[in-house]
Amino acid sequence: MTHTPTDADYRDAVERHLDVLLQEIRLDLAAGLRAHLADVAAGLRPGETLEHRLGSPEACAAAVLGFSSALETFAHDHATAPPPRPVFTA
């Protein structure tokens, strides 16, 4: 991947959306993300950007996290999961 400022900015923006994760998990995901972005960037047509191909950095981060549309209502209040349910014990 040739790191143009646009590619690097996009990658950094996606990674910022992963800041809510534990560092070990974030670093593991970021390594895979960087490899994926490099593959995608290598196949871009002239004038095409990562954002054009993959959507906004926020949407790309959501895809990395495995968000489904069913979780969208919780995305702003809860970083990666719906609110916990109460646990009832006997």
Regarding pTM above 0.95, the answer is no
* In contact, 74 and 80? CB cutoff 8 Å: no
What is the number of other CB atoms lying within 10 angstroms of the CB of residue 83?
7
Q: Is 64 helix (H, G, I), strand (E, B) or coil?
A: helix
Q: How confident is the model at residue 14 (pLDDT cuts 50, 70, 90)?
A: very high
46: left (phi over 0), alpha (psi -120 to 50) or beta: beta
pLDDT in tens, 43-58: 999 999 999 999 999 9
